[in-house]
Amino acid sequence: MSSSANIFRRGAPLPRPVLDIAHRGAASLAPENTLAAARKAHELGADLWECDVRFTRDGVPILMHDATLRRTTDCHRKFPTRAPWWVHLFSLEEIERLDAGSWFNEVDPFGQIRAGAVPQEEQQGYRGEPVPTLEAALRFTKKRGWRANLELKPGVHLAPRLVAERVLGLIQEVGIATEVLISSYDERVLREIKRLDRELAIAPLVALRPPDPVGYLEGLQADAYHPGLWAFVPEDASALRRLGFGVNLWTCDAPDRLRELAAGGLVSGLFTNFPQRLEPILEELFGS
Ligand code: G3P
Ligand code: CA
């Protein structure tokens, strides 16, 4: 398999100096990891959306952050005897019966309903929002001429090679290989992705700073570095950027910090639950 000109490859020019990466979609305004959240992020002008990928019992990749369905679906109502509702113990047919939107209206995880930023009709529309398959997410992204960062969560019941094969197979089938960046904490999956298609862009997620970030990325043949805020060291970012690696930092929502980071010249992208906050900052700094 080959996919030339992936825009997230090391050294490739980015659409703008800092990318607005909508974390789990526009997670402050719509239920995370759903097409509603992706749609909202796209409307807001985000450069791409990040989503979390896990596999059903029958091996279908779907979007879900947690290892269980409890927090972001009504699984406890539909399947009351299946606690703690591990994702990998549910079939696709069962997951398709779940409502992954109503919890957002009930919990208001970022206080944006209380703040009046989510109109009533949008809240109504979230009721019954399904858990998307990865295929649906990729087709949505492709149809909009947009981009995505797929975070492959550590597999529980599938070998890394199978995870990589299934995800890459879908990417190729949908024809979106040039617009996708794959990240993971699981280095084995990232290595398998590169083995199958060296033109695809990969990025390790870093919660604990590695002793030698440049050597680490080069060893993985990675294209970008994805540190958590607390693992972010400006000198690392500066060295990595000079060598052409992307540096995409997660997850920042505070307006002052977003501005400081966007203007600082050290990052190529910022993951935020509030793409609506980052967008005007980037437009002011870099133009629209
Ligand atoms: O991909 C960056 C970030 O999403 C990793 O953390 O827990 O939000 O998936 P988490
Ligand atoms: Ca994630």
The domain that contains 7 carries what CATH number? 3.20.20.190
Do 254 and 278 form a contact (C-beta atoms < 8 A)?
no
Q: What are phi and psi of 23, to 5 degrees?
A: -75, 115
How far from each other are the two terminal CA atoms of the chain, in whole angstroms? 35
Look up the domain containing 212 and give its range.
3-286
212 Cβ contact partners less than 8 Å away, ≥ 6 residues apart? none
* Number of domains composing the chain: 1
Residue 149 DSSP symbol: E
Closest residue to atom 5 of ligand 1, CA basis: 250
pTM over 0.95: yes
**Ligand 1 binding pocket includes 65 (Cβ within 6 Å):** yes
Cα angle for residues 239, 240, 241 (degrees, 5° grid):
95
CA of 151 from ligand 1 middle (Å) equals 7
Closest atom of ligand 1 to CA, residue 271: 2
Q: What is the pLDDT of residue 16?
A: 95
195 Cβ contact partners less than 8 Å away, ≥ 6 residues apart? 164
Do 115 and 31 form a contact (C-beta atoms < 8 A)?
no
- Which residues of the chain are under the pLDDT cut of 70? 1-4
- C-alpha span between 274 and 255 (Å, rounded): 9
Closest residue to atom 3 of ligand 1, CA basis: 250
Secondary structure class of 244 (helix, strand, coil): coil
**Ligand 1 binding pocket includes 50 (Cβ within 6 Å):** yes
Return the number of other C-beta atoms located less than 10 Å from residue 182's C-beta.
25
- C-alpha span between 136 and 132 (Å, rounded): 6
Q: What is the pLDDT of residue 204?
A: 98
